[in-house]
């Protein structure tokens, strides 16, 4: 029974496909009356004025840049045609002639940039040569020009013990520089001076006063007279050792 049902369904499907194929190849003609559509002048004008129905492509005029590039390109093209006797270049030569004006323009811009950079560099160099010497730093001025011991006494009179410690440290740097234990330079650090000291008996106390100086001056701690006297003993001891050294 099931087998007969499957055969029946297959026959129905084949018949439908055959009829559909016959219908698809059949040409149907419309024999109805032809109705001529009319359009008024106003409707036609409205369509013409509507930008959505404007299919004309407007040709844009070349700007001055395009005109300049075209003129340069034609100039070089005529030059190469006269030089090589080629009326119409093709292939790579044609491509090269088209991009040649742009390459020359880039080269010209490169020369301009190089020129202005050179002028700017020369101007900066001239300015640096004529620039007055920079003012001495405060520490450099103190060590080279001031009576540091007088500055220490003045700071103590004003009870500015923190500033007195700073002057005392600079005084010891000045003293050790005069004794050729160190070579004082503005850009050097306190650790640099520590490594320059050759004598261990000087190096150890200098490390101690450097630690005190960094703590008091760079730590921005205000100290009292008692604390100053405690720190000053280490400075005074090192001063005596430096004075005794040859």
pLDDT digits (tens, 9 = 90+) for 11-31: 555 555 555 445 445 566 667
Residue pLDDT, tens place only, 100-124: 667 777 888 888 887 777 766 555 5
Residue pLDDT, tens place only, 166-193: 999 999 998 998 888 998 887 888 888 8
Cα–Cα distances (Å) from 223 to 117, 152, 163, 189, 205, in that order, read 55, 15, 10, 24, 21
**Residue 20 to residue 164: CA distance in whole angstroms:** 115
Least confident of 6-15, 43-52, 76-85, 141-150: 6-15
Cα–Cα distances (Å) from 133 to 30, 129, 136, 137, in that order, read 105, 10, 9, 12
The predicted pLDDT at position 15 comes to 54
The predicted pLDDT at position 24 comes to 47
The predicted pLDDT at position 210 comes to 92
**Residue 104 to residue 126: CA distance in whole angstroms:** 33
pTM of structure = 0.44
The predicted pLDDT at position 6 comes to 47
């Amino acid at each position: 029974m099931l087998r007969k049902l499957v055969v029946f369904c297959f026959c129905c499907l084949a018949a439908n496909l055959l009829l559909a194929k016959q219908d698809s190849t059949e040409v149907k003609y419309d024999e109805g009356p032809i109705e001529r559509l009319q359009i008024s002048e106003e409707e036609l004008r409205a369509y013409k004025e509507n930008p959505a129905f404007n299919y004309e492509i407007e040709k844009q005029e070349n700007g001055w840049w395009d005109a300049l590039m075209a003129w340069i390109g034609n100039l070089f093209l005529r030059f190469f045609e006269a030089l090589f006797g080629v009326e119409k270049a093709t292939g790579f030569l044609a491509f090269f002639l088209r991009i040649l004006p742009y390459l020359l323009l880039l080269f010209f811009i490169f020369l301009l940039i190089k020129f202005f950079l050179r002028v700017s560099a020369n101007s900066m160099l001239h300015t640096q040569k004529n620039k007055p010497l920079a003012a001495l730093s405060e520490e450099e001025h103190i060590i080279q020009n001031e009576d540091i011991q007088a500055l220490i006494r003045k700071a103590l009179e004003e009870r500015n013990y923190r500033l007195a410690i700073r002057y005392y440290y600079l005084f010891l740097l000045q003293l050790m520089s005069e004794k050729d234990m160190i070579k004082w330079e503005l850009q050097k650090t306190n650790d640099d001076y520590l490594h320059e000291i050759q004598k261990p008996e000087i190096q150890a106390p200098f490390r101690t006063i450097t630690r005190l100086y960094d703590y008091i001056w760079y730590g921005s701690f205000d100290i009292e007279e008692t604390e100053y006297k405690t720190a000053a003993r280490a400075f005074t001891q090192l001063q005596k050792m430096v004075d005794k050294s040859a």
